[in-house]
Chains A and B, each alone.
Chain A
């Protein structure tokens, strides 16, 4: 069967097309500031990790996570920071850490887990680490958390 018709961008023929920007509130911050925030957070996270404060580091990096267009650099940096925290956590500590997160932070962490899984081999992303976190996070936050991560247009 000819399926090329599926590749036609039908939106270009629709004058009343709905745009991504109409589906969610944009980040009020300026892209440059978002990047700056992400850099500061990366530094703060390194200090927290050096003190062994994984929960604090994770809470900090998940708060105000960059989303939306024009902030690719900040998004990558934040993902890297999240992955570095995930990789340096002992498996036995994970349940308590995810339980201590706020529901909002749990949702954002789930988004990062899925983003990480979508980028195999990117940086030091490790599938088995992500799956370990995913299991514990789902036990703590339920399937609703997964649904929110998949539904939310504010992609991290």
Chain B
């Protein structure tokens, strides 16, 4: 049983807004809640910061690293995106990252950026009720952006590419997950027909799904085959949709909402969010269920051994009865005061999970699409964690499992 690998990149619990590994996973690009992206290199069991990519003048919201073409794309609240490419410095001959500005033509913050599978396009979600699809124009020697606008009614919070390089899923704050065609004539070959449709000119709506109880759609993801769509929304639910007849399975969680998800196989999803632990969902066209968590509640951890064991069973109300509560109760009854989050406060303000705050990103780490062996997560606590997806621990009976409803809508 290999425990999850835990790296604290953010000093003093600085949030990690986004993380992206390179192809062979010896480097990682992160944005530590600032206008700079930093690149860290692996040295044995620790990470050392090697480069700083500074060009944005507002907070970086998302980073993606194209594995084959080795290009990094960053987007930020300054409404810009930069494509970073390594080239030798003319004086020293050292490889440096050179930025190229991409004019996105959006008038609100960019929220998420993702390279397409062929790495010839990328999609930028934004608060401007639009998604910018950017492709390289060799004649002008720049990246051009085309906007997917209709019928988006609010901020787009997440995007995910279909493996065919044409279709794009988007989750937005108007409570809907949609599937668009992001077909660009000069870049894409005519795509083969999929379950999502046959004729796919740019901005075709191939699917539109509402979240169960009307929550913002935080995360979307195509299955490895691209034939199934999963989305997680702020009503603490995750929905899996099978087109074309749109059979949908919604799992309502008894815990806090999920913010991010990734498919590990065609029949399993790992999702995480405000509950600070990665949850595992599995199923098929016959139905879906929550099978457990990657965060082993019985694992030994500083200051939390015994209390941790009781986490799933004795305290079904999640974290209501945990760290923060105890901190204030001690302050009240015993006059013990410790500032929450201060390093001196030992186990008192520690959660019983590996991540100590909301997980904002989960991404594949090892394996090929459809057979992911490990995933990486990062979050508001400044930690980067690599998890083995096979180490699933059940969730306490009185917790979530008891009242899951995988219902067909």
Measured CB to CB, the residues of A under 8 A from B are 16, 18, 22-25, 102-103, 107, 138-145, 147-148, 151-154
Contact = CB atoms under 8 A, between A and B. Distances in A.
Contacts of A143: 236, 254-256, 317-320
A142 B317 contact: yes
A139 B213 contact: no
B253 A142 contact: yes
Contacts of A147: 215, 234-236, 256-257
B177 to A, nearest CB: 14
Contacts of B257: 144, 147
A139 B174 contact: no
Given A23-B175, A154-B214, A145 B154 contact: no
Interface of B: 129, 153-154, 174-175, 210, 213-216, 234-237, 252-257, 316-320, 399-400, 403, 405
A153 B210 CA distance: 12
Closest 8 CB pairs of A and B: A142-B254, A144-B236, A151-B215, A152-B213, A144-B253, A151-B235, A147-B236, A148-B213
A11 to B, nearest CB: 13
Contact of B405 (A103, A140, A152, A153): A103
B317 A152 contact: no
A107 B320 contact: no
Given A18-B154, A143-B318, A148 B215 contact: yes
A142 B174 contact: no
Contacts of B317: 138-139, 142-143
Nearest to A107: B213
A142 B215 CA distance: 17
Given A148-B213, A152-B213, A141 B254 contact: yes
Given A23-B174, A143-B317, A143-B318, A152 B214 contact: yes
B176 to A, nearest CB: 9
6 contacts: A103-B403, A140-B403, A142-B400, A143-B319, A147-B256, A148-B215
Given A107-B213, A139-B317, A152-B214, A144 B175 contact: no
Contacts of B403: 103, 140-142
Question: Counting chain B CB atoms within 10 Å of each CB, which of A23, A24, A138, A153 scores highest?
Answer: A23
Question: Counting chain B CB atoms within 10 Å of each CB, which of A103, A140, A151, A154 scores highest?
Answer: A151
Nearest to A142: B254
Nearest to B254: A142
Nearest to A149: B213
Contacts of A18: 153-154, 174
Contacts of B175: 23-24, 153
B256 A144 contact: yes
A152 B252 CA distance: 13
B351 to A, nearest CB: 14
B128 to A, nearest CB: 11
Nearest to B399: A142
A156 to B, nearest CB: 12
A142 B214 contact: no
Given A139-B317, A143-B320, A153 B252 contact: no
Given A18-B174, A139-B317, A145 B210 contact: no
Contacts of A154: 213-214
Given A23-B174, A25-B210, A142-B253, A152 B235 contact: yes
